[in-house]
Amino acid sequence: MDVRDELHEIINLAMELKKAKDIGEPLKGKSLAMIFEKPSTRTRVSFEVAMTQLGGHALYLSPKDLQLGRGETIADTARVLSRYVDAIMYRAFDHKMMVELANNSSVPVINGLDDKEHPCQIVADLVTIKEYKGEFEGKKLAYVGDGNNVCHSLLLGCAIVGMDIAVASPKGYEPEKEYVDLANSIGKQSGANVMVGNSMEEAASGADVLYTDVWVSMGDEAEAEERMRVFKPYQINSEVLSMAKKDAIVMHCLPAHRGLEITDEVIDGEQSAVWDQAENRLHAQKAILLTLLG
């Protein structure tokens, strides 16, 4: 099965699980280790509740709870945890650490976020878009803001499912070339058009989905003042929403800094899909866990 078919299967499974009244306990006796170097609301709660509802068990582990905090390598941590649990979910500062954990684990490793990618978020996003729009082909997602980990994973996710994506970021804050090139390569196969530039008007024009994220990600706090100045013209407000299609939906992976990257009237407005998007993290995590462990 190729990655496109696999992603579609996970999306469809998440939608089925959301509707199901009784799914039993397919992961009874299974354990998930959750390593959190960064704090979290949605990732922690959705994975923990997902494992519980599927009949399994999740263990929350911060560096203070592990010997990682005292110098044990991530590779050794992976080798040991693999002897105890059925899968590891890792929320990391550094993508290289994510790769090292995966390379030394004998059980599945789920990327719960790192500085380069946020794939679980995008699975939930694609579930939300399919719920609202019914299909991906012929649809356009406009991402406005920082070319960060969410943007990277959106580029790849949209390209895989065949949905057009237009990214608008300030100069110097565009997504990394490696991810843009990969998305373009995938898009040539799937029919997705990938556009990366600095014009918010060009990106938002005719969009079916308007998407934004925080201007200052965890780890970028030292640049906060400069980022606030540079990103100010990239706010999603009612004027920007009017550039998109009349039935466009608005998405934000949260947490939102209201009045900065998005206004209250938009995030709380009739076109906001933000709260369905947040709920779908739970159903997406269930689908990912069942695909790996079921």
Query: Could you tell me the residue ranges of all domains in the chain?
Result: 3-117+279-293, 119-278
The residue type found at 194 is V
**Which of these is catalytic: 86, 114, 121, 235?**
121
Average pLDDT, integer, range 137-142:
98
Catalytic residue, chosen from 42, 152, 252, 281, is 281
Considering 114, 115, 118, 158, which one is annotated as catalytic?
A: 118
CATH architecture of the domain with range 3-117+279-293 = 3-Layer(aba) Sandwich (3.40)
> ∠ CA 102-108-113 to the nearest 5 degrees?
60
Confidence at 219, pLDDT banded by 50, 70, 90: confident
Q: To 5 degrees, how large is the angle CA 158–CA 9–CA 33?
A: 90
User: CA 80, 285, 204, 250: dihedral to nearest 10 degrees?
Assistant: -130
What's the CATH fold of domain 119-278? Rossmann fold (3.40.50)
Output the six-digit token pair for 149: 């980990």
3-state helix, strand, coil in the chain (%, to 5): 50, 15, 35
E strands of 37-159, at which residues?
A: 57-61, 87-91, 109-113, 140-144
- Residue 91 annotated among the catalytic residues of the structure: yes
Contact 104, 128 (CB under 8 A): no
DSSP state of 236: B
Nearest-angstrom CA–CA distance, 258 and 226: 18
Residue 201 is inside which H or E element, if any?
Answer: helix 200-204
How far is it, in rounded angstroms, from Cα 227 to Cα 128?
29
Residue 176 pLDDT > 80, yes or no?
A: yes
Return the C-alpha torsion angle 49, 112, 99, 159, nearest 10: 120
| pLDDT at residue 69 greater than cutoff 70 | no
Global pTM reads 0.96
pLDDT digits (tens, 9 = 90+) for 1-21: 899 999 999 999 999 999 998
* Whether residue 121 lies in the annotated active site: yes
> Quick check: 178 and 155 in contact, CB under 8 A?
no
Candidates 158, 253, 271, 277; catalytic one: 253
42, 91, 252, 283: the active-site residue: 91
What does the block give as tokens for 79? 């080798």
Contact 115, 95 (CB under 8 A): yes
Catalytic annotation on 253? yes
pLDDT of residue 72: 87
Annotation marks residue 213 as catalytic: yes
CB atoms within 10 A of CB 291: 14
Which percentage of the chain shows pLDDT scores above 70? Answer: 99
Q: Which among 213, 252, 271, 283 is annotated as catalytic? A: 213
Residues 6+ apart with CB under 8 A from 234: 144, 145, 168, 169, 170, 200, 212, 215, 261
Mean pLDDT confidence for 148-166:
98
3-117+279-293 with 119-278: one CATH topology? yes
Q: Is 281 among the residues known to form the active site?
A: yes
**Per-residue tokens: 119:** 């794939």
Token digits of residue 12 = 């469809």
Measured between its terminal Cα atoms, the distance across the chain in Å is: 17
The mean pLDDT value for 132-150 works out to: 98
